[in-house]
C-alpha cells in the first residue's frame, strides 16, 4: 500500500487549508503586536529613553515573529501553487511595497541607536512607525480584495495566468475599509503588548491608545460586515463539487449573488461564534485595558484577531481566491492544491518541525518575560536597542 493513501486527498486539502489559516493567524497575533508597537512608537514614547523602552519590548522577539510569514509563504507555494502564482503576480506591486517596508524595518531596528543624534534617531523612529502601518494596511486590503474577487483569468489549455487589474484598482473603498480594520487590529495588539511590557507614563499612554484601537476595531469590523452584506456579491459553486479529483480550477461553474458569502452561516449556524469572537474579543480587550488588566487585554486582543481571521476563512470557504472576471477560474480548496503525495509529504514534515518551532517560540517568550524598565539601559552587560 502506498503510504500517502493513508489520508484521503480531500482530507489532506482540508488539513492544509486549516494549517495555512493557523500559520497566518500565528503571524497576525505575534508579528501583529510588534507592527502595532512600531506604529505607536511616536505616540506612546516622548523621550529617547521611553522610545528605547518601547523598541526593546519587541527587540528580543520581532525577528522570530516574522518566521511565521516566511513559513506561510513557503506553505502556500508548496501546498497551493496556483494560489501562490495568482496572488504573487496579481498583487506584485502591492507585494513590492510590503517587502520594501519589511526590509526597511529591520534596518531601522539595527541602526536607530548607532548614533546619538536626535535627528538621526527620530528619522528611524518614523521609519518604524511607517513600516508598521504599511504591512497592516496592505494585509487588510488584500483580505478585502479576496472577498470582492480579483481580476484574473486562466487559459484552459495551458493554465497560464492573466491578471487584468492595477494597483489602484486594489485600493477600492471596501478593501480600504478592510485595510483600516487590519490597522486597528494591529494597533490594539501593539498597545496591549506595550502595557504588558512597560510601566509608568508609557504604560498609561499605551493603555489610552489601546482602548481607542479596541473601539475602532469593533466599529470598523462591524461596518465591514454590514458592507459585505449590503454591497458585496459573494461567490457560489453551482456545479457538482468533486473534492478528491485532480486540481483543475476551470472544471466548475460559479455564480455570484448578494449575500452569498453568508451561506455558510445558514448551513452551519455554529460558525457564527467566530464573528462573535472578533467583536467580543475587541470589546473585552478595551474593557480590560480600562480596568488596567493588561495581560487579560492582550489575551482578548489575540482572541479578537483569531476570531476575525477564522471568520474570513469560514465566510469564503471553499474559495481561496475568487476571480471577478472569469468566475469559473476562481481558486478553491478542491481545485488549487498540489498533488496528494505532495500534501502528505509536507504534512509529515510539518508534524515534525512545527511543534519544534512552537516549543522554541514559547521558550523564548518565557525567557524574555517581564517588563522593560529605565534601569535596563544602565547595565552595560545587557544588550539593548
8 A C-beta contact, residue 145 and residue 86 = no
DSSP string, 184-229: HHHHHHHHHHHHHH--HHHHHHHHHHHHHHHHHHHHHHHHHHHHHH
* Site of grid cell 534601569: 375
pLDDT band at 382 (very low <50, low <70, confident <90, very high): low
Q: How confident is the model at residue 384 (pLDDT cuts 50, 70, 90)?
A: low
Residue 339 pLDDT > 80 = yes
**Quick check: 365 pLDDT over 90?**
no
Quick one: what percent of the chain has pLDDT higher than 70?
97
Alpha helices in the chain (DSSP H): 9-44, 48-58, 62-65, 67-79, 81-90, 92-111, 118-148, 167-170, 173-197, 200-231, 263-267, 273-290, 294-316, 340-367
- The C-alpha cell of 59 is what? 527587540
Query: Domain map of the chain by residue range?
Result: 31-374
Cβ count near 218 (within 10 Å):
21
pLDDT (0 to 100) of residue 241: 86
pLDDT score for 379: 62
- The pLDDT mean for the chain works out to 91
What is the DSSP code string of 247-265?
--GGGS-EEEEETGGGHHH
pLDDT in tens, 89-120: 888 888 899 999 999 999 999 898 888 888 99
Could you read off the pLDDT of 263-291 as tens digits, one per residue?
Answer: 999 989 999 999 999 999 999 999 999 99
Lowest mean pLDDT among 182-196, 199-213, 256-270: 256-270
Residue 3 has pLDDT above 70, yes or no: no
**Which pLDDT score is estimated for 136?**
95
Three-class secondary structure of residue 150 per DSSP: strand
pLDDT bin (cut points 50, 70, 90) of residue 156 is confident
Best CA proximity match to 179, nearest among 133, 213, 218: 133
What's the whole-number mean pLDDT along residues 343-372? 89
Average pLDDT over residues 142-165: 88
Q: Render pLDDT for 22-52 as a digit per residue (tens, 0 to 9).
A: 999 999 999 899 999 999 999 999 999 899 9
Q: What is the rounded average pLDDT of the residues 229-253?
A: 89
Positive or negative, the Cα torsion across 353, 357, 362, 367?
A: positive
What pLDDT does residue 203 have? 95
Amino acid at each position: 500500500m502506498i503510504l500517502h493513501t493513508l489520508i484521503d486527498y480531500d482530507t489532506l486539502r482540508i488539513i492544509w487549508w486549516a494549517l495555512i489559516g493557523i500559520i497566518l493567524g500565528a503571524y497576525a497575533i505575534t508579528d501583529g503586536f510588534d507592527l502595532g508597537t512600531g506604529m505607536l512608537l511616536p505616540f506612546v514614547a516622548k523621550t529617547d529613553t521611553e522610545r528605547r523602552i518601547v523598541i526593546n519590548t519587541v527587540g528580543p522577539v520581532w525577528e522570530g515573529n516574522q518566521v511565521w510569514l516566511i513559513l506561510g509563504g513557503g506553505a502556500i507555494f508548496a501546498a497551493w501553487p496556483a494560489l501562490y502564482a495568482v496572488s504573487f503576480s496579481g498583487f506584485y506591486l502591492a507585494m513590492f511595497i510590503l517587502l520594501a517596508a519589511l526590509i526597511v524595518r529591520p534596518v531601522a531596528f539595527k541602526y536607530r541607536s548607532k548614533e546619538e543624534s536626535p535627528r538621526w534617531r527620530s528619522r528611524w523612529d518614523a521609519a518604524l512607525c511607517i513600516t508598521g502601518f504599511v504591512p497592516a494596511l496592505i494585509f487588510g486590503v488584500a483580505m478585502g480584495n479576496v472577498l470582492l474577487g480579483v481580476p484574473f483569468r486562466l487559459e484552459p489549455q495551458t493554465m497560464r495566468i492573466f491578471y487584468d487589474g492595477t494597483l489602484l484598482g486594489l485600493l477600492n473603498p471596501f478593501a480600504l475599509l478592510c485595510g483600516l480594520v487590519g490597522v486597528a487590529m494591529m494597533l490594539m495588539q501593539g498597545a496591549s503588548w506595550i502595557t504588558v511590557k512597560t510601566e509608568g507614563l508609557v504604560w498609561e499612554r499605551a493603555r489610552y491608545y489601546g482602548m481607542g484601537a479596541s473601539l475602532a476595531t469593533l466599529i470598523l469590523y462591524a461596518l465591514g460586515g454590514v458592507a459585505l452584506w449590503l454591497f458585496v456579491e459573494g461567490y457560489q459553486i453551482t456545479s457538482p463539487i468533486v473534492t478528491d479529483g485532480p486540481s483543475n480550477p476551470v472544471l466548475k461553474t460559479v455564480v455570484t449573488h448578494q449575500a452569498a458569502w453568508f451561506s455558510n452561516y445558514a448551513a452551519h449556524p455554529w460558525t457564527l461564534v467566530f464573528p462573535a469572537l472578533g467583536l467580543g474579543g475587541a470589546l473585552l480587550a478595551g474593557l480590560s485595558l480600562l480596568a488596567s488588566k493588561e495581560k487579560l487585554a492582550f489575551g482578548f486582543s489575540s482572541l479578537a484577531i483569531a476570531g476575525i481571521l477564522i471568520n474570513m476563512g469560514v465566510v469564503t470557504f471553499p474559495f481561496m481566491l475568487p476571480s471577478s472576471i472569469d468566475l469559473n477560474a476562481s481558486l478553491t480548496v478542491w481545485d488549487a492544491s498540489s498533488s496528494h503525495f505532495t500534501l502528505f509529504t509536507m504534512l509529515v514534515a510539518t508534524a515534525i518541525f512545527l511543534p519544534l518551532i512552537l516549543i522554541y517560540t514559547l521558550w523564548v517568550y518565557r525567557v524574555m518575560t517581564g517588563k522593560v524598565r529605565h534601569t535596563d539601559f544602565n547595565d552595560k552587560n545587557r544588550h539593548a536597542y
